[in-house]
Amino acid sequence: MSQSTSSPVQAAPIALITGGSRGLGRNAALHLAQKGFDVIITYRSKAEEAQAVVQQIEAQGRRAAALALDVGQASSFPAFVESLKALLASHWQRERFDHLVNNAGVGLHLPLAQTSEAQFDELMNIHLKGPFFLTQALVPLINDGGSILNTSSGLTRFAVPGYGAYATMKGGVEVLSRYLAKELGARGIRVNTLAPGAIETDFNGGALRSNPDLNRFVSSVTALGRAGLPDDIGPVVASLLSNDSRWITAQRIEVSGGMFV
């Protein structure tokens, strides 16, 4: 009589999403949970919002946790790494995670001639220096065969007056992604860039969501005829982190509905 053997249960992949308490980060976290990922989100100040996302993920049967992090303060990264190690050990009994999504960010809508050095530095610290040194700090904790997804913007392909400083930082992120893909490829770690178009979130004070004229303009220059929604982005993040995208690396994936084509 043949004897059946059961294979060990494989642990769920863990994704870490910066700025996961709201907007596109929150949407991505929820869609990842639907795809069977456990999720760690970071938040800067709104712990209650972050905990609400954790509870939503847990309601789907996945494990989740939230950690405070200001991606604009690189000096805080060593302490964050130690907090993450402790969380992984206590919550998952693991030493590493699998996927990093550099998503946290702020907006700025000003002509270049009116952009101050302080505003430039804030954007640089949050959007470029932060992801650079946070990724550097976290790479030793990412499992071989994992992935990194950096968030950019459609504004690196098309120019809309007032977003020059913001788009400059995102252009740097796209170059960073390609170099990371080259340098981490030997470990099987994929690195890609996600470039959303105009999305109805609270980004930039929720202007696109609350300004009908702006929304009509965006719809008029978008091939699919409307502004984007968070649910247009989250599933793409989940797909790019999944094994279905195992042969995609060093790519910029724009998710804009064909804006300004």
The tens digit of pLDDT for each residue in 217-248 reads: 999 999 999 999 999 999 999 999 999 999 99
Query: Which run of H or of E encompasses 41?
Result: strand 38-43
Share of the chain above pLDDT 70, in %: 95
pTM: 0.94
Q: Which residue has the tokens 């170059």?
A: 175
Specify the pLDDT at position 1: 45
For the chain, the average pLDDT equals 94
What distance in Å separates the CA atoms of residue 258 and residue 208, rounded to the nearest whole number? 17
**3-state secondary structure at position 100:** strand
The model's confidence at residue 253, banded by pLDDT at 50, 70 and 90, is very high
Active site residues: 166
The model's confidence at residue 209, banded by pLDDT at 50, 70 and 90, is confident
Average pLDDT over residues 15-44: 97
Specify the pLDDT at position 203: 67
The model's confidence at residue 10, banded by pLDDT at 50, 70 and 90, is confident
What distance in Å separates the CA atoms of residue 109 and residue 166, rounded to the nearest whole number? 8
Q: What share of the chain is helix, strand, coil (3-state, %, to 5)?
A: 50, 20, 30
- In the chain, the amino acid numbered 58 is E
C-beta separation of 18 from 104 below 8 A: yes
Angle 72-108-215 from CA coordinates, rounded to 5°: 130
Higher local confidence (pLDDT), 203 or 73: 73
pLDDT digits (tens, 9 = 90+) for 146-159: 999 999 999 999 99
- Which pair of structure tokens corresponds to residue 199? 């999305």
Bridging pattern class, strands 64-68 and 97-102: unpaired
pLDDT at 205 over 80: no
Flag the least confident range among 3-7, 8-12, 124-128, 187-191: 3-7
What distance in Å separates the CA atoms of residue 122 and residue 42, rounded to the nearest whole number? 19
Specify the pLDDT at position 2: 46
Average pLDDT over residues 31-53: 97
Q: How many angstroms separate the Cα of 259 from the Cα of each of 109, 115, 188, 217, 236?
A: 19, 26, 33, 11, 17
What distance in Å separates the CA atoms of residue 142 and residue 241, rounded to the nearest whole number? 13
For 37, phi and psi rounded to 5 degrees?
-90, 145
Domains, in order of start, for the chain = 14-255 (3.40.50.720)
- In the chain, the amino acid numbered 232 is D
pLDDT digits (tens, 9 = 90+) for 77-105: 999 999 999 999 999 999 999 999 999 99
Specify the pLDDT at position 4: 46
Number of neighbours of residue 200 by Cβ within 10 angstroms: 18
pLDDT at 255 over 50: yes
